[in-house]
Amino acid sequence: MGQAGAALERVTIPTLARYKSEGRPIVMTTAYDAVAARIADPMVDMLLVGDSVGNVCLGFDNTLPVSMAMMTHHLDAVMRTGPRALVVADMPFLSYHLSPEDTVRNAGAFLQRGAAAVKLEGGAGRVDLVRRLVDCEIPVMGHLGLTPQSVHRMGGFKVQGRDGAAAHALLDDAYALQEAGCFSLVLEGIPADLAARVTEILDIPTIGIGAGPDCSGQVLVFHDILGLLDSHRAKFVRTYIEGFDLLRAALGRWAEDVRSGDFPGEGESYRLPEAAHAVVAGWVPKGMAEQDEEA
Ligand code: KIV
């Protein structure tokens, strides 16, 4: 059973810390628009306006083409719904790579538009940046493991941290991000036992995606949960309805109804008042009416 119906509390960063200390799993999904935000908000603790909007909704092969302008467009749509879940906005590629000033300006713009936090990808190399953002009162969620903006360095979307050295480096990165002030970490595409160890050594909550059951919480892309994509599904995805097929079948029924003349019916149409029928029936183009009078 979901949360709907219960008195829903507004989720804040201290709420998430409390959930971790209580062992209460944290639930996050993506939202890129107002419809998804309204559907998901009562069911989850966090809404991520993810740069995955690039490949999920905008037709790109990966997240690299996603810009600040695209992200703010989608963040604004989500914020207009007034969500009670905590909204995290993803920092897109090149929005935190050029200079600390540029990073603060971009992250700050997300907070000014209503997000409560930003997420950025990378480990020890981001520590100074995270400190700078946290100093500016901008809460930061880290993201380690399979970081989609590193698709070319990784040689594809591949599980990370699979040997001792890589696992050790990831533990170092996770600890460094926590010490720099991250309030939470996404762990994506890493072995479950490594994610469990990260979760154990950190005080801050970990949110897993393809990282096994022992994280402090889980995130899945909204469209994956609802089966809205007709593309390859990763092993870690669990789909609860075949949305793509169901929606296509529904649209097919509507198209059939239009073609058969069944749609729109009387109940789906507006009618003129009786008195206006004669006016409408007697209408002729202006010039023609004058010609009729002359003749
Ligand atoms: O953009 C995104 O959807 C993400 C999640 C996969 C964590 O970063």
DSSP string, 136-152: TT--EEEEEES-GGGHH
Nearest CA to ligand 1 atom 5: 50
Which position among 188, 274, 290, 293 bears the catalytic label? 188
**Does CATH place domain 2-225 in 3.40.50.1370?**
no
pLDDT, position 34: 98
- pLDDT tens for the 295 residues of the chain, in order: 456 555 689 999 999 999 999 999 999 999 999 999 999 999 999 999 999 999 999 999 999 999 999 999 999 999 999 999 999 999 999 999 999 999 999 999 999 999 999 999 999 999 999 999 999 999 999 999 999 999 999 999 999 999 999 999 999 999 999 999 999 999 999 999 999 999 999 999 999 999 999 999 999 999 999 999 999 999 999 999 999 999 999 999 999 999 999 999 999 999 999 999 999 999 999 887 667 667 6
Q: Given ligand 1 and candidates 58, 219, 223, 237, which is best to mutate, with the most ligand atoms within 8 Å of its CB?
A: 219
Cis peptide before 83 (omega within 30 of 0): no
| CATH 3.20.20.60 domain span(s) along the chain | 2-225
| Catalytic status, residue 9 | no
Whole-prediction pTM value? 0.94
Atom of ligand 1 nearest to the CA of 63: 1
Between the CA of 209 and the centroid of ligand 1 the distance, in Å, is: 8
Q: What pLDDT score does 198 carry?
A: 98
3-state secondary structure 32-88: CCHHHHHHHHHHCCEEEECCCHHHHCCCCCCCCCCCHHHHHHHHHHHHCCCCCCEEE
| Structural contact between residues 160 and 189, judged by C-beta atoms closer than 8 angstroms | yes
Residues near ligand 1 (Cβ within 6 A): 30, 48, 50-52, 90, 186, 188, 209, 219, 221
- Residue 164 CB contacts under 8 Å (≥ 6 apart), including other chains: none
User: Would you state the pLDDT for residue 22?
Assistant: 97
Tokens of 19: 């959930």
Ligand 1 atom closest to the CA of 51, numbered from 1: 1
Instruction: Give distance in angstroms: CA of 225 to centre of ligand 1.
Output: 13
Task: Please give the helix or strand (H or E) that residue 21 lies within, else none.
Answer: helix 13-22
Nearest CA-CA partner of 221 in 10, 103, 50: 50
